[in-house]
Structure 1
Amino acid sequence: MFTGIVQGCAEVVSVELLPGLSRLGLRLPEHMLEGLELGASVSVDGCCLSVTSMNGAIVTFDLMRATLHLTTLEKCEPGHLLNVERAARFGEDIGGHLMSGHISCRATITELDVAPNNLRIWFSVPDGFQSFILDKGYIGIDGISLTVGALREGAFCVNLIPETMARTTLADKEMGDEVNIEIDPQTQAIVETVERVLKTRSMV
């Protein structure tokens, strides 16, 4: 599990295409290396990945075809920066909200509203996911725990404070860029249950 509080940005140093998977090499920030072991879980732009090898600060992860198809990691190239977070430990503060690192879908940036000390970003989401996104609810964007600022048909926005802009890659995104979205699982479960009950009642 993760908290959605990004601990640093990791540079992509290599992308190796192998049969059925892609091997991603990242240069992790030094403060994230202590105690890191093979098999450990790391959130990379919101995707829960397992460490497959380590060579100093260079850590590699294997991405299966399903992960590449669903997430933006298929577009990684050397030099790109990605948000990273080590798995949460028992007893640590949960500053954001609990996240699994299982991406629900991609969203596309449709509007950037830049103001002093604030950035509002609007995202369009695929059909079938809008009902799970609630005003003032939690959402994970590229591994960042954020609060939904507002909704409109097929889209939602978030507001970034200077700290979030400085600690993550989200402030560097441009119009048309895609991001990884993790829907809050509790919200999804409640919405799906209500929809199922209403559908059952309508059939009676």
Structure 2
Amino acid sequence: MFTGIIQAVGTLAALTPRGGDVSLTLDAAALDLSAVQLGDSIAVNGVCLTVTARNRQQFSVDCSRETLKLTTLGQLRPGARVNLEKALTLATPLGGHLVSGHVDGLARVESREEEARATSFWLRAPDELAHYIAKKGSVTIDGVSLTVNEVEGARFRLTIIPHTLAQTIMGEYLSGTQVNLEIDVVARYLERLLQGRVTAPPSAFAGLSGSPYA
């Protein structure tokens, strides 16, 4: 799990094909890797990946074909900048919201407009994910925990303060940029719980207090 508060911006140093998938090596000099162990998780542009090698300033991760297909990581080329966050611990301040690092789909930036010192982005979500996005709710864009300001169908607006633009890759977004989108994990589980009441056989609820099937 992660918080959606980006800890550093790294750079893709190398992309190495390996048996149909790839290994990514990232320069992460601004990220404290001293306590990172092999097998630990680091979110790269919001994608939870497992550390397979590291030194003081770099770490490597493997990306399956499924990850390359469903996220923007397959579009990266050496030199590309990426958002980085280490997995949270019980001592980590939860400054954003609970983020799983499991990308639900790709959103696309439709427009960018400066509003005083802030920057407003309109993005379009995949139609099948649009109903999860609510005004004043949370979404994760390339690993960044953000509040939705406005929703119009599958379109939603984000207002980004200068600090966030400077400390993440969001300052590089232009119209047409594809980004990794993760919906709020609470919305995902709530929907499944509601579906369970409909799809599970009545025997599944036998004896549960308050169940209509008890």
Q: Indicate whether the TM-score tops 0.5.
A: yes
Tell me what 2:74 maps to: 74
Amino acid aligned to 1:26: L
Query: Is there any run of 5+ residues in structure 1 with no aligned partner, and where?
Result: 200-204
Q: Is the 8 A contact 1:150 1:158 kept in 2?
A: yes
Q: Does 1:97 align with 2:75?
A: no
Tell me what 1:112 maps to: 112
CA apart distance, 1:195: 6.8
**Quick one: distance in 1 between partners of 2:37 and 2:88?**
15
Q: Does 1:43 align with 2:59?
A: no
Tell me what 2:202 maps to: none
Amino acid aligned to 2:51: V
Q: Is the 8 A contact 1:103 1:181 kept in 2?
A: yes
Q: Is the 8 A contact 1:70 1:105 kept in 2?
A: yes
Amino acid aligned to 1:41: S
**Quick one: distance in 2 between partners of 1:178 and 1:16?**
23
Percent identity at matched positions? 33
Amino acid aligned to 1:160: I
1:107-157 superposed Cα distances (whole Å, 9 cap, x missing partner) = 001111112310111111112111100110010000000000100121111
Amino acid aligned to 1:75: Q
Q: Is the 8 A contact 2:28 2:58 kept in 1?
A: yes
**Quick one: distance in 2 between partners of 1:71 and 1:105?**
7
Query: Is there any run of 5+ residues in structure 2 with no aligned partner, and where?
Result: 200-214
Aligned-partner SS, 2:74? helix
Structure index of larger Rg? 2
1:64-123 superposed Cα distances (whole Å, 9 cap, x missing partner) = 011000000001111110000011111221000011100000000111111231011111
Q: Does 1:176 align with 2:184?
A: no
Tell me what 1:8 maps to: 8
Q: Does 1:162 align with 2:168?
A: no
CA apart distance, 1:32: 1.9
Q: Is the 8 A contact 1:132 1:191 kept in 2?
A: no
**Quick one: distance in 1 between partners of 2:5 and 2:98?**
10
**Quick one: distance in 1 between partners of 2:108 and 2:75?**
14
Tell me what 1:202 maps to: none
CA-based RMSD: 1.8
Number of corresponding residues? 200
CA apart distance, 1:190: 2.5
**Quick one: distance in 2 between partners of 1:4 and 1:84?**
10
Q: Is the 8 A contact 1:5 1:96 kept in 2?
A: yes
- Bigger shift: 20-29 or 96-105? 20-29
TM-score scaled to structure 1, two decimals? 0.92
Q: Is the 8 A contact 2:8 2:30 kept in 1?
A: no
Instruction: Give the direction of change, closer, same or farther, for the CA distance of 1:24–1:166 in structure 2 (3 Å limit).
Output: same
TM-score scaled to structure 2, two decimals? 0.88
Tell me what 2:144 maps to: 144
